[in-house]
Amino acid sequence: QVQLVESGGGLVQAGGSLRLSCAASGRAFGVYAMAWFRQAPEKERAIVAAIRSTGGNTYYADSVKGRFTISRDNAENTVYLQMNSLKPEDTAIYYCAMRVDAGFRLDRYDYAYWGQGTQVTVSS
């Protein structure tokens, strides 16, 4: 049974930074792709960033390119999302997800395991 536990969310002013963490247990973390999704009120859950199992390939949504960085530490079974220059429109619940494959996909239905989510609120 896989468990994903996010942390690091909170309230921050526009222009500020947060670093989200997602700790995984219960499966061979280092062989699977990971991603961060977010869901704002009354909106669909959408991908923010993704990273291949080895960390050698990443993806970013256009809305966060140049501001967010996804990374992973396979020795620590943890994936991170560094978020800089935050904007009010980044306000959402952020979820980490694991895909049971080395490569990532962009569709949430390709991810089998999910964390409980962490709230990020950016004030203007």
What is the full per-residue pLDDT of the chain (124 aa) written as tens digits? 899 999 999 999 999 999 999 999 987 899 999 999 999 999 999 999 999 999 989 999 999 999 999 999 999 999 999 999 999 999 999 999 999 999 999 999 999 999 999 999 999 9
DSSP 42-107: TS--EEEEEE-TTSS-EEE-TTTTTTEEEEEETTTTEEEEEE-S--GGG-EEEEEEEESSSS--SS
DSSP state of 36: E
Q: Which SS3 state, helix, strand or coil, does residue 16 take? A: coil
Q: Would you give the DSSP letter of residue 14? A: T
CA distance 98 to 35: 7
Nearest Cα neighbor of 2 from 29, 21, 36 is 29
pLDDT given for residue 37 in this prediction: 98
Sequence letter at residue 93: I
- Residue type for position 63: S
